[in-house]
Structure 1
Amino acid sequence: MTDRKSELAANLARVEERIAEACAAAGRARDEVTLIVVTKTYPASDVRFLHELGVRHVAENRDQDAAPKAAACADLDLSWHFVGQLQTNKVRSVVGYADVVQSVDRLKLVSALSAAAVKADRELGCLIQVALDAEAGGRGERGGVSPDGIEELAAAVDAAPGLRLGGLMTVAPLVGSYAGRQRAAFERLMDLSTALRATRPTANMVSAGMSGDLEEAVAAGATHVRVGTAVLGVRPKLG
């Protein structure tokens, strides 16, 4: 086993142990939580190692990095998640490889994703990114729609050919009333998910939690956690 693969295996084992312990503490079964490894800034070779180590869900946040990496790993049975703020001019490319776009936060993006999915003859999973720091009707600093905008977007995704509403996603806010209160933020997201599932029971995916706060996300009820640094290491600074 190469040094890098050994390093990834050890990191992955530690993250797996954290998730298992968090599930046990919350009285949840381990298989209720899916690990998504965020591979941004790391090469396709790392994605291949992760696949060999059993990872099946990977995430990227920049199309210019993700598209070539996904192409280089097209022979692997992976689910690719796009988690970054998405400009409409990148949609066609992203729809070519992504199975799920977790950062749907405006009507214009829904329309663009639908048109590209239909053209590519694909069904694309969509999560509505919720910005818990956003004012009513606005968007958050890191993307996302305010909680009162969820229903409008959900209805748009429901009506859009080629798209499937999967659920909700959030990033723990850095500002506002939830800053530094990850558990409370994730519990708020779960309340919003419960409301959404009342009319759309299949939209049951709740993506929350990263390397530093996955335990709080699991405790709150997240179904998916997005972990990068804890698996791959501290990211190199981008120029």
Structure 2
Amino acid sequence: MNSDELLARLTAIRDRVTVAAEKSGRSGDEVTVIAVTKTHPATTVARLRGTGVADLGENRIQEAATKIEELGHAPWRWHLIGSLQSNKAAQAVRLFDVIHSVDTLKLAQRLDRVVADDPERGPMRILLQVNVAGEASKSGFDLRGLDDGERWERFLGAVREIAALPHLVPCGLMTIAPLADDPEQVRPCFRALARIRDALREHVPDRDWRELSMGMSNDFEAAVEEGATMVRVGRAILGDRDTAPRP
């Protein structure tokens, strides 16, 4: 895949995002395409310069650290989209602009302390990861909808405590839908996350809750139609690891 093919893929994805957004009465400009660069070397990521991609997603701290050290932060915003352990919180705060995978009150409190200890670091933007499908293999607050009163009350209590932390800016929710051949099979997960976000706007109104990070290469159009403001697209942009663009 050469640079022209890479740009063509990005253009096609943006066009598909625009069409999907218009179906939900929005502009495609309201949706951020995060290019997921995990497993791809820095030489491949560097090819995204000049394509208009401003947001990069990584799953693992150590892999991201190597790339960011080589490539720098500008002109990109780096997103942590993989699970984060509390003992890696300081590294995550140093490396990333947005953390999508805050899945416990304990982790949020740890991040808040880390940010507080860094006088040069402004408030950290975070998303709360929600396990709307109830998959045992997935991280996230276990909340399968608004109908389970006990789970909802526990989640709401945690969210209120997180929203009160002075050094974090919780600005939305993230979910990882189950793998499915047909995007329609996972559309209910996206719809459920949007409903949860809308409920948070009512119950925790002092935060914006604008962002919905949901949808990947095989289902991002359905996610956008259901309200996604961030989609995490890797394979559809960069290809499989063995076919990644090379310098």
TM-score category of the 2 structures, normalised to the smaller one: 0.7 to 0.9
- Structure 2 CA distance for partners of 1:75 and 1:89, relative to 1, 3 Å: closer
CA–CA distance in structure 2, aligned partners of residues 207 and 116 of structure 1: 24
| Aligned with 1:210 (options 194, 213, 216) | 216
Q: Give 1:68's aligned residue.
A: 66
Q: CA deviation at 1:33?
A: 0.9
1:130 has 2:109 as partner: no
Q: State the 1:58 CA deviation.
A: 0.8
Q: Deviation digits for residues 75-115 of structure 1, max 9, x if unmatched? A: 52211110111111211111102111101111221122112
Q: Which has the higher contact order (CA 8 A, sep 6+)?
A: 2
* Maintained 8 Å contact 1:67/1:94: no
Give % identity: 38
Residue deviations 1:174-221, cap 9 Å, x none? Answer: 59xxx9721111011100000011233512111110000011101101
Q: Is the 8 A contact 2:18 2:28 kept in 1?
A: yes
Contact 1:130/1:150 (<8 A) preserved:
no
- Say yes or no: does 1:85 pair with 2:83: yes
The answer on whether the counterparts of 1:101 and 1:126 sit within 8 Å (CA) in structure 2 is: yes
Alignment map for 1:3-18 (pairs within 5 Å): 4-18=2-16
Q: CA RMSD in A?
A: 2.1
Structure 2 residue runs without a partner (length 5+): 144-151, 243-247
Which residue type is aligned with residue 142 of structure 2? S
Deviation at 1:159, TM superposition (A): 2.3
Task: Find the aligned partners of 2:64 and 2:100 in 1 and give their Cα distance.
Answer: 14
Tell me how far apart the structure 2 counterparts of residues 165 and 207 of structure 1 sit (CA, whole Å): 13
Q: Find runs of 4+ consecutive structure 1 residues off by over 6 angstroms.
A: none
The amino acid across from 1:82 in the alignment is L
Give the corresponding residue for 1:195.
199
Tell me how far apart the structure 1 counterparts of residues 131 and 184 of structure 2 sit (CA, whole Å).
15
Task: Measure the CA separation in 2 of the matches of 1:129 and 1:15.
Answer: 25
Structure 1 unmatched runs, 5+: none
DSSP-derived class of the 1:85 partner = coil
Match of 2:167 in 1: 162
